[in-house]
Amino acid sequence: MSYSNESIAELVRPDSVHKSVYTDPEIFQLEMDRIYGHAWIYAGHESQVPKVGDYHTTRIGDQDVIMVRGTDGKVHVLYNRCPHKGAMVVARGDGNAGKFFRCPYHAWTFKLDGSHLAAPIRRGFEGTSFDPSSPEFSMRALARVESYRGFVFASQAAQGPSLTDFLGGVRSSIDNLCDRSPEGEVEVAGGVFKVMQPSNWKVFYENLHDTMHANVTHESSYTSARKQAESFDKMPLELHIMDGNGEPYEFWEKLSLMAFDYGHGYMEGIFNPGAIETDPVTRSHFETLVEAYGRERALAIMGENRHNTIIYGSGSPHTVFQQFRVIRPIAVDRTLVEIQTFRLKGAPEAVFKRGLMYANLINSPSSNVMPDDIELYGRCQQGNMTRGGDWVSQHRYAGTDKPIEGGMTSINGTSELPMRNQFNAWKQYMLGQV
């Protein structure tokens, strides 16, 4: 079928969505145009391209792009396409282009901002309309590129909100992540895990603040952790983190869920990696912050305990354990998740090691926890392909959400507000209202 705006609007109700939003390839293609063709999407971190010519390839929606450090010191984001025959100019991956890009097909060259440098044997173009100064013969840049504290976002739309306005209520999560460094800066370090999920990209966003699943889906990992903990006097942090998923419903009910415009949000509370008074790693980290910012500010920075911030369309930064799970839609039923870990510049190495431990333990392909989720994401995809029903429920605490500046907050931590908020934004994007 071809979707009219009316038929798209009918897919999202205030308390449920039609399953075709997860399963219809035509919807997926519309999302690539109307969401990923407009929103600010995270391209990567500036620290991934520190030197002139350094590049990192990635995907903005269904578009192959290159994030590159130009000779002007600025970060550019270009479509990975040579204007001659259309070949991808660089293979997917990271590298250094030197002073210019050179297409491996016919050696057309381009400056690091994508502008045309040269095509071999220029005389062959004499008398044709070939014009090296025309954008038609350059690598095209994405319409807008902005960086917020080192996090580079690109938008394929020339018009729209500024990056800071777009980030709105979750900008403070990026601030907190960076402020945890005594130098106020982070850098990608420790490699990147990649996990391919057999499910639609939206399912992962919904799971990030889905508190009702934790003690059901993760039963096998938290019961194992609890059993293992019996052999220790004090439960190690590794087991404590897994154990947390086994908290009873009453625990999750007390959490706060914040939901902002454009589908963003964050969750407050949950796992503190350790108290300043008792945990030596947290203590030494705190001391570096006191030296840099003073005691009061250091307490405020460490006291902001957010879990799984959502930047809708880009992924999920985690402030306390310094990582960014970047979510890349590949197909209607395939999603690539890249887990970037960050070093807090100037903070003790043990803080970085703790972040790596969390990434290994919770998010990596060999994690004890993530496979639980991936199994369920796949089941949602498969179940929604059956004729067993058409609607997906988001009824929990529907109609009770409270407005806050730039968004809504839940009255109960088990609310399905985050999912409703994401689909509210989804609908606005899909109807061209943002």
User: What's the closest the beta carbon of residue 15 comes to Fe ion, in angstroms?
Assistant: 23
| Cβ density class 242-258: b for 16+ within 10 Å, e for less | bbbbbbeeebbeebebb
Interacting positions 10-69 with Fe ion (CB under 5 A): none
Q: Residue type at 280?
A: P
User: What's the closest the beta carbon of residue 343 comes to Fe ion, in angstroms?
Assistant: 26
Backbone angles phi, psi at 23, to 5 degrees: -120, -15
Name beta bridge partners: 227: none
SS3 299: helix
The DSSP secondary structure of 2-52, one letter per residue, reads ---HHHHHTTEETTEEETHHHH-HHHHHHHHHHTTTTS-EEEEEGGGS-ST
SS3 391: strand
Stretch that binds Fe ion, among 139-147, 164-172, 371-379, 412-420 (CB under 5 A): 371-379
Q: Checking DSSP bridges between strand 41-45 and strand 402-404, what pairing results, if any?
A: unpaired
- Residue closer to Fe ion (CB basis): 340 or 367: 367
Stretch that binds Fe ion, among 28-36, 263-271, 354-362, 370-378 (CB under 5 A): 370-378
- Residue closer to Fe ion (CB basis): 112 or 370: 370
Judged by CB under 5 A, the number of residues near Fe ion is: 1
User: What's the closest the beta carbon of residue 27 comes to Fe ion, in angstroms?
Assistant: 25
Stretch that binds Fe ion, among 47-55, 122-130, 158-166, 372-380 (CB under 5 A): 372-380
- Residue closer to Fe ion (CB basis): 206 or 373: 373
- Residue closer to Fe ion (CB basis): 243 or 373: 373
User: What's the closest the beta carbon of residue 362 comes to Fe ion, in angstroms?
Assistant: 9
User: What's the closest the beta carbon of residue 101 comes to Fe ion, in angstroms?
Assistant: 41
Q: By CB under 5 A, is residue 373 in contact with Fe ion?
A: yes
Stretch that binds Fe ion, among 41-49, 179-187, 308-316, 368-376 (CB under 5 A): 368-376
Cα–Cα dist 41/305, whole Å = 25
User: What's the closest the beta carbon of residue 346 comes to Fe ion, in angstroms?
Assistant: 33
176 secondary structure, DSSP code: H
User: What's the closest the beta carbon of residue 420 comes to Fe ion, in angstroms?
Assistant: 19
**C-alpha dist (Å) from residue 326 to 200, 202, 348, 349:** 14, 13, 25, 24
Interacting positions 382-421 with Fe ion (CB under 5 A): none
Q: Residue 234 in contact with residue 248, Cβ under 8 Å?
A: no
- Residue closer to Fe ion (CB basis): 183 or 375: 375
Cα–Cα dist 314/316, whole Å = 7
Stretch that binds Fe ion, among 39-47, 79-87, 164-172, 366-374 (CB under 5 A): 366-374
Stretch that binds Fe ion, among 29-37, 178-186, 365-373, 387-395 (CB under 5 A): 365-373
Backbone angles phi, psi at 323, to 5 degrees: -150, 170
- Give the pair of three-digit tokens for residue 155: 């938008």
Cα–Cα dist 329/313, whole Å = 9
User: What's the closest the beta carbon of residue 373 comes to Fe ion, in angstroms?
Assistant: 4
Nearest residue relative to Fe ion (C-beta): 373
- Residue closer to Fe ion (CB basis): 320 or 430: 320
User: What's the closest the beta carbon of residue 358 comes to Fe ion, in angstroms?
Assistant: 14
Q: Residue 296 CB: number of other CB atoms within 10 A?
A: 9
Interface residues with Fe ion (CB under 5 A)? 373
